[in-house]
Structure formats: C-alpha cells, structure tokens
Amino acid sequence: MTTTPLIRVENLTKHFPITRGIIVQKEVGAVQAVDDISFEIIQGETLGLVGESGCGKSTTGRTLLQLHKPTSGKVFYKDIELSTASNAVMREMRRNIQIIFQDPYASLNPRMTVGSIVAEPLEIHNIGTAAERQERVKELLELVSLNPHFINRYPHEFSGGQRQRIGVARALALQPDFIVCDEPISALDVSIQAQVVNLLEELQEEFGLTYLFIAHDLSMVRHISDRVAVMYLGKIVELAARDELYENPLHPYTQALLSAVPIPDPVLERKRKRVILEGDVPSPANPPSGCRFHTRCPIAEAVCKEEHPEWREAVEGHWVACHLAK
C-alpha cells in the first residue's frame, strides 16, 4: 500500500439550516452535522469511521461524494477539488467515487429489474452497447456471488444480503477507485454480515479499492480497517492505526466505546472496568461550548468547558482532540 492520499479533507463543515414559517421561511438555526474536520484516506486502505447514531458519520461520507454540498471546507480526490467542481467535472468523477448505501431495501428501485439497476451507471456514462452492458452486468453479478441469470428478477425477490450484493455490484460497475461504505452491514443478519465484509475485502484485494467504512460495530471495524477515526457530535475526536487505537485509546469517548465491546473470555470480561457515559448526546443544533464531549466526560475539567481542544498528534500517527489525553 502506498502513502499517497487518494482523498484529502480539509476543514470540512456541513450545517443543515433550521427554518420556521410557512409562506416566508426564516432560518432560525442550523444542525451542525459535520463541523470542521480534516483527514486523509491513503490509496488502497480502509479507513473505518465509528461513533454513535447521529454523530455525522453518514453526512461525512455523503459530503465527500458531494451528495451534500459542504457548507465550507475542501474535499480533494487526488488533486481535483470536488467541493468547487462543476457539474460536468463531477459527472466524470462519479466514475471514480461511488457509494454503497446503508439500507438494501430502500436503495434499490422496486420497479426496476436487477439487470437495469446494475446497468444504470453504464447507461448514464454511455459505456458500451446494450449487448455489452448486459454482459458486463452478468460479470458483475458473478463477481458478487449472485447467479447471472437473475438479471430479470426484481429486488423484492431477494433477501437483504443478496440486495446488498446487488448494491455492491452497482457500485463496482464503473470500476471506481474509492467507495464509501455507508453502514453496509447494519441492516443485515449477523450471519450475513461476515459474508458481505469478506466480499468487500476480496474485491479490495482484487481491484485495489480504497474504502471509507462507516459502521457501529467496533469489532467488525477492527477486522476490516487499516486506520480508524472516532466521531462525536460532528467532530473527529481520535484517529489512529487500527491496533494502536484499540490497544491504546487516548480519548475518553473512545475508551467508553471500546469498553462496551464484549471480550470472548469470561475471566477477562469480569475483571474489565466498564466506562458508563451518563446523560444523552447533546443536540447538534445547539452543541456545548468548548469540548463537545465535556457534558458526558468522566474526567472533564474547567478548561474543557471553555476551550476547543486542539487536533494534535499525541504520538506518531495517533491524532486526538482532548485537553487531558497524554
């Protein structure tokens, strides 16, 4: 794997306006879904992105692909700035950057056959003749371990795991470099989750893909990721290599998340100290001052309420935003 960044994110912010009024709508606030985050994704790696529901993970992934236009900040694919790219440039970029959606039931058009769904990106980009596209669709279905004779079936005829494989085939149709996997296993049975993750790993090895893997399941993120970023209330609070983060978490929020992951050893499990967070996640429409985690942090001090923690490299390759982390 190289050390060349494929995706570079600089001070990315995405706020959704809160409006009031029926005829004349007035902006009365904003949901700060993503707030001033910066990171890189190295070519060929999988960057895991974890955090509680509503912390901004999916918004981050969609804003990278410009499905949501950023409020401010920059997103680069190689040296091309996507955040200011024209529609024509973005249309070309869609061949290189794709997404696998979270819900395999909602992300496939129920009125279209599987063949039409997987062929749609090829038609939009005018790739091949109708016969060539059909052959390509059969190849893609085989690639994700589905019967190529299923091309005339409809999504309702498939299980959740099979539908997610169709979503993977559609994402691969244009031979992209970078795929945002937006919680691709959270809606699936546990028995199917491992199959989909193994498929993603096999495809990455075969085609040299780069992933942003968004998930709740910390054990699955450890399995698939090279590096892991932890997000809380629109901010990335910690970023490190997978083993470094899991063995030496510096941020209190990361420590709390990891303490909830079960250990398959009853003796160690009994000895382990759980970190229980009190209270609820604050509203992203009205986040706390200073460090956003201070309202639930078990070690918070006065400085945490007043000043934003600096995003700093605590040890080589291990970044954290915490006044008290050492």
Average pLDDT on 67-80 reads 93
In degrees, rounded to 5, the angle at the alpha carbon of residue 315 between the alpha carbons of residues 309 and 316 is: 120
In the chain, where do the E strands start and end? 5-20, 26-42, 46-50, 72-77, 80-81, 97-100, 178-182, 210-214, 227-232, 235-241, 311-315, 318-321
- pLDDT (mean) for 6-29: 90
2 vs 134: which has the higher pLDDT: 134
Q: What is the pLDDT of residue 137?
A: 94
How far apart (Å, rounded) are the C-alpha atoms in residues 326 and 324? 6
> In the prediction, which pLDDT does 110 show?
93
Instruction: Look at residues 61, 60, 80 and name the one whose alpha carbon lies nearest to residue 14.
Output: 60
The one-letter amino acid code at 270 reads R
Q: Is 270 exposed, middle or buried (0-12, 13-18, 19+ CB in 10 A)?
A: exposed
Give the model's confidence band at 2: pLDDT under 50 very low, under 70 low, under 90 confident, else very high: low
pLDDT above 90: percentage of residues in the chain: 67
**Cα(223)–Cα(207) distance, integer angstroms:** 19
Distance between CA atoms of 9 and 34, rounded to whole angstroms? 12
Residue in the block written with tokens 């399941």: 217
pLDDT score at 72: 94
Predicted confidence (pLDDT) per residue in 267-280, tens digit: 776 777 777 788 78
Q: What is the pLDDT of residues 229-251, one digit of tens each?
A: 999 999 999 999 999 999 999 99
Query: pLDDT class for 1, splitting at 50, 70, 90?
Result: low
Beta strands at 178-182 and 97-100: parallel, antiparallel or unpaired: parallel
**All structural domains of the chain:** 5-21+28-96+176-247 (3.40.50.300)
The answer to whether the beta carbons of residues 296 and 257 sit under 8 Å apart is no
Give pLDDT, residue 272: 74
Average pLDDT over residues 113-120: 95
% of residues, the chain, pLDDT over 70: 99
- Per-residue pLDDT of 129-174, as tens digits, reads 999 999 999 999 999 989 999 999 999 999 988 999 999 999 999 9
pLDDT bucket at 253, cuts 50 / 70 / 90: very high
Instruction: Answer whether residue 67 shows pLDDT above 90.
Output: yes
Query: For residue 280, what are the contacts with CB-CB under 8 A and spacing of at least 6?
Result: none
Buried b (16+ CB within 10 A) or exposed e, 112-145: ebbbebbbbbbeeeebeeeeebbebbbebbebbe
66: left (phi over 0), alpha (psi -120 to 50) or beta: left
Q: What is the mean pLDDT of residues 49-55?
A: 91
- Per-residue pLDDT of 285-317, as tens digits, reads 899 999 999 999 988 899 999 999 999 999 999
